[in-house]
Amino acid sequence: MKILKNVLIGVGVVSICAVSINAVTNTNENPKPVVENKNKSADTAKAVKDYNVYALSLPKEIDFAGEPAPLELPDIHERLDRELLVNTYWQSNGLLLIKRAHKYFPMIEPILAEEGVPDDFKYLAVIESGLTQAVSPARAVGFWQILEGTARDYGLEVNGNVDERYHIEKSTRAACKYLKKAKEKFGTWTLAAAAYNAGNRGVQRQLDRQKVDDYYDLLLGEETGRYVFRILALKEILTNPQKYGFNFDEKHLYKRIPTRKVKVDTVVNDFADFAKQFNINYKILKIHNPWLREAHLNNASRREYEIKIPE
């Protein structure tokens, strides 16, 4: 009886081992988790194939307003590389800037030339406002982000009815006056650009404190330290968009709408009614004349204004 019991125990152990081996074998024949991982790997490989992020080769040389940036210096190289990467891979913003530049640069470029300010300063307007009628937290306004006091200092009208900081041509001329004054003070257009951001006194204080006379030799705070490099990066990208992966056709670019000027030297009680006289609506009138800040014009002084009407 004892022998039979031992035999049965032995058979049972063998059977359990056989079942375990079979289970392991079946698991290996149908390795579901492994198949799922393979699928995930395939999806990842496809994603990598469809989208790639590349390091950028910096231009061998670059200048602002004819003044070369010393790219041979490691910190200058890295700071430009940062701005090129940030602006290249912010693709939606880059395309919008390209589209807007096609519309607005032809308005800005002739004024810069007339005022004797280098053409590269149009890229300063790009980084200041993205070529929009922006308002900053500090209440700087328009394409050139001009503060109210500065606007009045440079001949712009700012009141409840009219704010010429929103007037592209007039604000461009005011910015040119500021920049020429800064260039006369500091001797270079690069420092004039930095002063547009930090103010003449702010730049002069740092030049005196650090005992240098060049923007690229200054240790500055985050905003002003990046300022000229942002201008250089946008200049490089907008000048060579295809090089940085921006692809578009002429039809994709924003177009400037031809306008004619109507002179007004009286009170305008209602610009909605005024617009109807020219077969346009209030919205279209304000799009072309954002410097008109109210639905009416008091004009107690009977000043003459030129209002743009789309043709």
Phi, psi (degrees; rounded to nearest 5) at 90 = -95, 70
Do 95 and 246 contact (CB within 8 A), yes or no? yes
**Domain extents for the chain?**
2-50, 63-252, 259-310
pLDDT of residue 52: 85
Q: In this predicted model, what pLDDT tens digit does every residue of 258-304 receive, in sequence order?
A: 999 999 999 999 999 999 999 999 999 999 999 999 999 999 999 99
The answer to whether residue 94 scores a pLDDT higher than 70 is: yes
Q: Which two tokens stand for residue 189?
A: 């257009």
Residue linked to tokens 């990842």: 44
Query: What pTM was computed for the model?
Result: 0.83
Residue 233 C-alpha from the chain's centroid: 10
H/E stretch holding 63: strand 63-64
pLDDT of residue 231: 98
pLDDT of residue 46: 59
Dump the DSSP string for 74-138. Answer: HHHHHHHHHHHHHHHS-HHHHHHHHHHHHHHHHHHHHHHHHHT--GGGHHHHHHHHSSS--B-TT
Dump the DSSP string for 258-275. Answer: PEEEEEE-S-BS-HHHHH
pLDDT of residue 299: 93
SS3 (DSSP) at 256: coil
Residue 254 CB coordination number (10 Å)? 14
Q: In this predicted model, what pLDDT tens digit does every residue of 12-46 receive, in sequence order?
A: 444 444 444 344 444 444 444 444 455 556 666 65
Q: Which two tokens stand for residue 131?
A: 């070529």
Integer Cα distance of 108 and 173 in angstroms = 9
Q: In this predicted model, what pLDDT tens digit does every residue of 178-204 receive, in sequence order?
A: 999 999 999 999 999 999 999 999 999
The class (CATH top level) of 63-252 is mainly alpha
